[in-house]
């Protein structure tokens, strides 16, 4: 790919819809694509419907990190497995995912920040994860000669890696198609066909497909779709801006972030840049509906989050977006094929300034592309991976909280196992929907 995937990207996967299948996967992001792949490898007849383009939303708009470092303890074992699955997928696609084991680094510019990130080290020890702690001299040497210094220290996970989001998920989708998955882009699932609380099929804009099971992996759209069917999913979205630079000297080959700036080496010779914790939330009906559950997270992240008065027209939680619609008429998913928010120009300029301050020998970088994505967020910053409690046959895999690209293969494999009623190989009790029934017991983990 030469740039971010958008609604203008040509449709590449347009297989005819069958009248029936075993499972329909709703959503062609990293979670949906890997779920479909692993279901097909288990002999399941799968149809994947994507309302816009494969990986058109957050799955191609993320930082491209494959990160164990700083993960919530509940996610960490799955992420470790996901790293191995990414390497396997890269091999299976002839290297088109761009997977590299180049490490992930958390940098600190103060003793206080170093203490904060170092508080995660017991989690690493508990899980047998190698993490190196560097002092100021070691940190400067790691990024020399282009770095300007000023870092107090760092944590390094050398087993972590990176991949190329624009290329990786479409490549895996091509692999899934070659292994029997029917994939149709530009085909929204408008609604589920439900009888007596049990799934009977899905209703797409191009006609019905009979099935007894479905997977909802709709990212930022999942809550809207679930609510249409009486399933309460407390999920909000935040906008995050990212950019890629023109080619630069290879001063650091992995992925790193300090309190303000995150950067990743790219295969095209540039770097992906982002502001480490900055995001924007557009206030909508769900903001008030889920306020009680999100209040602790809001208090924790408010200084890093800009609140905007209203989402643009057509966004999942915009004030004018329909919450109810018939299955035989266009849905909100057709009106917004690809959720393509405009990047924050101030954020882009700040990235350039911060980069020049960190790396004065390189100066202010030229940006080739700037883009934004809407990240689906849960109140405790961990995903939902569960069977819908009130709708037999529906599995929900959403709310990846900005961590979905790296962990995607692991979540997809587990979702495939859930659909088939098989053991997942991991403790996913903390990902159940029922946890939101007891909000006082919700815990925002040490995800850094």
What average pLDDT score do residues 421-443 get?
Answer: 92
What average pLDDT score do residues 164-174 get?
Answer: 97
Give the least confident one: 1-15, 169-183, 256-270: 1-15
Are the C-beta atoms of 100 and 161 separated by less than 8 Å? yes
Tell me the average pLDDT of the chain: 95
In angstroms, the CA 15 to CA 157 distance is: 41
Which of residues 299 and 386 earns the better pLDDT score?
386
Q: What is the pLDDT of residue 426?
A: 97
**What pLDDT, in 10s, does the model give residues 314-329?**
999 999 999 999 999 9
What average pLDDT score do residues 104-130 get?
Answer: 96
Q: Over pLDDT 90: what percentage of the chain? A: 90
Residue 1 has pLDDT above 60, yes or no: no
What average pLDDT score do residues 16-21 get?
Answer: 98
What average pLDDT score do residues 103-113 get?
Answer: 96
Q: What is the pLDDT of residue 149?
A: 67
What average pLDDT score do residues 254-270 get?
Answer: 96
**What pLDDT, in 10s, does the model give residues 206-230?**
999 999 999 999 999 999 999 999 9
Residue 448 has pLDDT above 70, yes or no: no
How many beta carbons lie within 10 A of that of residue 320, not counting itself? 12
Q: What is the pLDDT of residue 362?
A: 92
Q: What is the pLDDT of residue 285?
A: 96
Q: How confident is the model at residue 103 (pLDDT cuts 50, 70, 90)?
A: very high
Q: What is the pLDDT of residue 21?
A: 98
In this structure, is the dihedral angle defined by the CA atoms of residues 245, 251, 255 and 258, taken in order, positive or negative?
A: negative
Residue 82 in tokens = 């996901």
Give the least confident one: 70-84, 225-239, 245-259, 295-309: 295-309
Q: What is the pLDDT of residue 150?
A: 84
Classify domain 23-441 at the CATH topology level. FAD/NAD(P)-binding domain (3.50.50)
What average pLDDT score do residues 69-76 get?
Answer: 96
Q: Over pLDDT 70: what percentage of the chain? A: 97
Could you state, in order of their start, the residue ranges of all structural domains in the chain?
A: 23-441
Q: How confident is the model at residue 65 (pLDDT cuts 50, 70, 90)?
A: very high
Q: Which pTM value belongs to this model?
A: 0.97
Q: What is the pLDDT of residue 303?
A: 77
Q: How confident is the model at residue 256 (pLDDT cuts 50, 70, 90)?
A: very high
**What pLDDT, in 10s, does the model give residues 41-54?**
999 999 999 999 99
Q: What is the pLDDT of residue 282?
A: 95
Residue 13 has pLDDT above 70, yes or no: yes
């Amino acid at each position: 790919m030469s740039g971010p995937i958008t609604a203008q990207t040509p449709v590449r996967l347009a297989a005819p819809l069958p009248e029936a299948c075993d499972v329909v996967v709703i959503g062609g992001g990293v979670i949906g694509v890997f779920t479909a792949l692993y279901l097909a490898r288990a002999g399941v007849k799968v149809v994947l419907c994507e309302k816009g383009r494969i990986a058109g939303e957050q799955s191609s708009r993320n930082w491209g990190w494959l990160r164990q470092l700083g993960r919530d303890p509940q996610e960490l074992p799955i992420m470790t497995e996901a790293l191995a699955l990414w390497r396997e997928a890269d091999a299976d696609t002839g290297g088109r995912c761009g997977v590299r084991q180049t490490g992930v680094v958390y940098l600190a510019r103060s003793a206080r920040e170093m203490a904060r990130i170092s508080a995660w080290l017991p989690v690493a020890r508990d899980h047998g994860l190698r993490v190196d702690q560097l002092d100021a001299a070691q940190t400067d040497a790691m990024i020399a000669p282009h770095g300007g210094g000023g870092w107090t220290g760092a944590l390094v996970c050398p087993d972590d890696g990176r991949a190329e989001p624009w290329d990786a998920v479409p490549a895996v989708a091509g692999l899934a198609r070659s292994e029997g998955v029917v994939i149709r882009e530009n085909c929204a699932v408008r609604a589920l066909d439900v009888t007596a609380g049990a799934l009977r099929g899905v209703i797409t804009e191009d006609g019905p497909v009979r099935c007894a099971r479905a997977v909802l992996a709709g990212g930022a759209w999942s809550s809207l779709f679930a609510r249409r069917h009486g399933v309460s999913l407390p999920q909000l979205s935040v906008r995050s801006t990212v950019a890629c630079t023109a080619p630069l000297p290879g001063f650091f080959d992995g992925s790193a972030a300090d309190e303000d700036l995150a950067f990743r080496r790219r295969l095209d010779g540039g770097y992906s840049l982002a502001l480490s914790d900055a995001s924007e939330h557009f206030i909508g009906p769900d903001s008030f509906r889920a306020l009680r559950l999100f209040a602790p997270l809001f208090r924790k992240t408010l200084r890093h989050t800009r609140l905007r008065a209203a989402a643009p027209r057509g966004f999942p939680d915009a004030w004018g977006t329909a919450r109810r619609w018939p299955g035989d008429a266009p849905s909100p998913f057709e009106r917004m094929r690809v959720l393509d928010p405009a990047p924050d120009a101030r954020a882009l300029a700040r990235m350039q300034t911060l980069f020049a301050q960190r790396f004065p020998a390189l100066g202010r970088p030229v940006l080739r592309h700037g883009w934004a994505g809407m990240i689906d967020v849960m109140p405790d910053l961990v995903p939902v991976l569960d069977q819908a409690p009130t709708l037999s046959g529906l599995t929900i895999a959403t709310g990846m909280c900005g961590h979905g690209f790296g962990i995607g293969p692991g979540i997809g494999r587990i979702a495939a196992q859930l659909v088939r009623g098989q053991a997942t190989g991991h403790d996913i009790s903390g990902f159940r929907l029922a946890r939101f029934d007891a909000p006082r017991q919700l815990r925002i983990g040490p995800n850094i």
